[in-house]
Amino acid sequence: MRGVVMTKPGEVIVTDRDEPQIEEPTDAVIRLAATCVCGSDLWSYRGVQDADHQVMGHEYVGVVEEVGDEVSTVKVGDFVVGSFMISDNTCEICQAGFQSKCVHVESAASIGTQAERARIPMADGTLVATPGQPTQEQIPALLAASDVLGTGWFGADAAQAGPGKTIAVVGDGAVGLMAILAAKQLGAERIIAMSRHPERQELARYYGATDIVEERGDEGVEKIKELTGGLGAHGVVEAVGTQESFMQAVGATRGGGYLGYVGVSHEVQIPGIELFFAGIHALGGPAPVRRYLPELIRLIWDGEIDPGKVFDLTLPLEEAAEAYAAMDERRATKVMLTF
Amino acid sequence: MRGVVMTKPGEVIVTDRDEPQIEEPTDAVIRLAATCVCGSDLWSYRGVQDADHQVMGHEYVGVVEEVGDEVSTVKVGDFVVGSFMISDNTCEICQAGFQSKCVHVESAASIGTQAERARIPMADGTLVATPGQPTQEQIPALLAASDVLGTGWFGADAAQAGPGKTIAVVGDGAVGLMAILAAKQLGAERIIAMSRHPERQELARYYGATDIVEERGDEGVEKIKELTGGLGAHGVVEAVGTQESFMQAVGATRGGGYLGYVGVSHEVQIPGIELFFAGIHALGGPAPVRRYLPELIRLIWDGEIDPGKVFDLTLPLEEAAEAYAAMDERRATKVMLTF
């Protein structure tokens, strides 16, 4: 089968890979309907993380082609969405809703779902079947649920978005936009998008942003305070992962407020004393997308949310190199790869 | 009146200070029944923070001697306990339970309560009267409520101590010991004290610790994991504030678990990526003691808790220099100063 491989930072090829097989009785093999490039794939593309002929991709939707003997919740022919974090969904940590910290957790990134087919371990714990076969229009939305929607939703949930709340979102990438969608869906009264890009501001407003703040860093914090009677937002979602964005998110959260941080904070050093005197709740990390999947699929199926719009470019898998380049150069927010 | 002044790091004197006066109609002036030295006072004593002839002390209990015209909830003659953070208790942040981040917050440290009398601003929002005049035996317990008990309680609450939970406490100083008391009172099933000092281990067990871990750093984390089926504690209280203790607390918290950090984290740098992949809830900072004071006073009054035992040395105010030295040299856990 064909699949994406990053030979070294900045170099992406599409090449022949071994066909996936059932290896464990809890595995499923799926044929992908679509996959995509994640903002976090750019960490290795840009050399922040190393890359040496590694398979790429951790987001996926598709049709089950084969299941192991112990798989009971999905069957051949089902259309499924899975989390980018593979989980058993039965351990104590999963049962507490933190499937991304499952005792048997694996990352789908090690499988490489930018490919025609993929072996999904712990299929019962990882995959959720849709009520039927989706339309072509529903596929991007379901694909978003695999990571960016679930991650943005986790961020908004961690920020305690809800009725009467003012939520600020730092970052206008796909995850930030999905956090805006989630905050709106969770009932937030006011949603402040921190964004400098006109076309993303427009998408932010489409998803529910009521205010736009272009300032960054301390100026951005001051602006949020101005907009919130000097207090700061009730909740802030950090969806970038840089030093500036992280501290901006900390500073924009009111005392006793809630910070949800979902940007992968690779090179961030948080001064303990600043976090201490901020006096805020913080929750973040790889999102337990599996917790939210059934509800997200329902919302998509019922047409209540439209997350698929974050894909502003669609390319065939064979053009994956261009997909990476477009995202790296910010010509695209998020690229869907099709077959 | 007599009061404690730190002339420079490491040098504490007792000297004549101006008598406090009512300055604002919301002030009260109290005569202290007792005060004490805080672990955080050692930061300036040891030169981590600067000190230049500053008044000292932020913990206090005593009798109201005078009130401003607008004070309505405490009256002359009342015995009162106040938080180390002065708050109006009416603003939006206070009403959300984060009085230590009150929009009008002041630190009692700027008043210097290691003195015979003290002006307490925003008396209605800061002070809570006891049901009557306390016995001599109740005074240390009530004094503890002013900071260390309230701070330990906040830590245990932030760590979500409750029935069925395993709570680890990093630090065996007064705040750590009070966090153990709080975790027990809140119903935790298992309380692991991280302590190397035999006499503090004994006090930790007195307050409710079920297990003692002497290892620190990564070894300490491993030990907590061993004791919790490989998962980590449901909740961890960080009550030291060093780099090692903070990261030990992060590492000892299970995925999706709760970290309450109440040690003042002066020189801590938290690697963002480690916090990210820990996938934990975190809440900390200066404790909103005022939120808990009515309940803490009730528990003390009814004899349900005995926090006064953290004072293992009592000296007259005039011997404050020895009080600081004893705590600095760890000859005492916490020193009460009397008149």
pLDDT per residue as tens digits for the range B254-271: 999 999 999 988 889 999
Residue B256 near chain A (CB below 8 Å): yes
Same-domain pairing of B163 and B292: no
pLDDT level of residue A73 (50, 70, 90 thresholds): very high
Determine the Cα–Cα distance for residues A112 and B263; give it in Å rounded to an integer: 43
The answer to whether the complex's ipTM is over 0.90 is yes
Same-domain pairing of B22 and B115: yes
Residue A164 near chain B (CB below 8 Å): no
pLDDT tens per residue across span B305-317: 999 999 999 999 9
**Is A264–B273 a contact, with Cβ atoms under 8 angstroms apart?**
yes
**Is B268–A271 a contact, with Cβ atoms under 8 angstroms apart?**
yes
**Is B288–A256 a contact, with Cβ atoms under 8 angstroms apart?**
yes
**Is B92–A231 a contact, with Cβ atoms under 8 angstroms apart?**
yes
pLDDT level of residue A329 (50, 70, 90 thresholds): very high
Determine the Cα–Cα distance for residues B190 and B159; give it in Å rounded to an integer: 13
Residue B100 near chain A (CB below 8 Å): yes
pLDDT level of residue A72 (50, 70, 90 thresholds): very high
Same-domain pairing of A160 and A252: yes
From chain B, the residues in CB contact with A280 under 8 A are 283, 285
Residue B272 near chain A (CB below 8 Å): yes
Indicate the number of domains in chain B: 2
Same-domain pairing of A131 and A193: no
Q: Which letter does DSSP use for residue B115 in this model? A: B
Residue B107 near chain A (CB below 8 Å): no
pLDDT value, residue B267: 87
Determine the Cα–Cα distance for residues B128 and B86; give it in Å rounded to an integer: 12
Residue A275 near chain B (CB below 8 Å): yes
Å between A55 CA and nearest CA of chain B: 22
pLDDT value, residue B300: 98
B165 in Cβ contact with B66 (< 8 Å): no
pLDDT value, residue B49: 86
Determine the Cα–Cα distance for residues B160 and B52; give it in Å rounded to an integer: 39
Residue B209 has pLDDT above 90, yes or no: yes
pLDDT value, residue A48: 86
Same-domain pairing of A292 and A280: no
Same-domain pairing of A117 and A156: no
Residue B115 has pLDDT above 90, yes or no: yes
Same-domain pairing of B209 and B137: no
Nearest 5°: phi and psi at A75? -135, 165
Return residues 41-70 of B near A (CB < 8 Å): none
pLDDT value, residue B184: 98
pLDDT value, residue A196: 94
**Is A98–B279 a contact, with Cβ atoms under 8 angstroms apart?**
yes
Angstrom CA distances, A99 to A56, A93, A141, A291, B270, stand at 22, 7, 22, 7, 24
Which of B284, B304, B319 terminates a domain? The answer is: B284
pLDDT tens per residue across span A266-288: 889 999 999 999 999 999 999 99
Determine the Cα–Cα distance for residues B99 and B94; give it in Å rounded to an integer: 4
**Is A103–B231 a contact, with Cβ atoms under 8 angstroms apart?**
yes
pLDDT value, residue B150: 98
**Is A273–B278 a contact, with Cβ atoms under 8 angstroms apart?**
no
Residue B158 lies in domain: 152-284
Same-domain pairing of A261 and A211: yes
pLDDT value, residue A267: 87
Same-domain pairing of B25 and B125: yes
Same-domain pairing of B270 and B313: no
Q: Least CA distance to A280: which residue of chain B?
A: B283
Q: Least CA distance to A269: which residue of chain B?
A: B271
Residue A140 near chain B (CB below 8 Å): no
Rounded-to-10 torsion of CA B73, B142, B181, A158: 30
Helix (H) or strand (E) holding B291: helix B289-301
**Is A101–B279 a contact, with Cβ atoms under 8 angstroms apart?**
yes
Residue A75 Ramachandran class (φ > 0 left, ψ -120 to 50 alpha, else beta): beta
Residue A276 near chain B (CB below 8 Å): yes
Query: What angle, rounded to 10 degrees, do the helices at A174-185 and A198-207 form?
Result: 30
Q: Which domain CATH number covers B189? A: 3.40.50.720
pLDDT tens per residue across span B65-88: 999 999 999 999 999 999 999 999
| CA atoms B120, B121, B126, B127: torsion sign | positive
**Is B231–A92 a contact, with Cβ atoms under 8 angstroms apart?**
yes
Q: How many CA atoms lie within 13 A of B121 on its CB side?
A: 17
pLDDT value, residue B73: 97
pLDDT tens per residue across span A37-68: 998 899 899 998 899 999 999 999 999 999 99
Query: How many of the other CB atoms lie within 10 Å of CB of A206?
Result: 13
Residue B297 has pLDDT above 90, yes or no: yes
Q: Which domain CATH number covers B308? A: 3.90.180.10
pLDDT tens per residue across span A235-247: 999 999 999 999 9
The amino acid at residue B266 is: H
pLDDT tens per residue across span A172-221: 999 999 999 999 999 999 999 999 999 999 999 999 999 999 999 999 99
pLDDT tens per residue across span A112-141: 999 999 999 999 999 999 999 999 999 999
Same-domain pairing of B9 and B141: yes
Same-domain pairing of B216 and B162: yes
Residue B196 has pLDDT above 90, yes or no: yes
Which of A284, A304, A319 terminates a domain? The answer is: A284
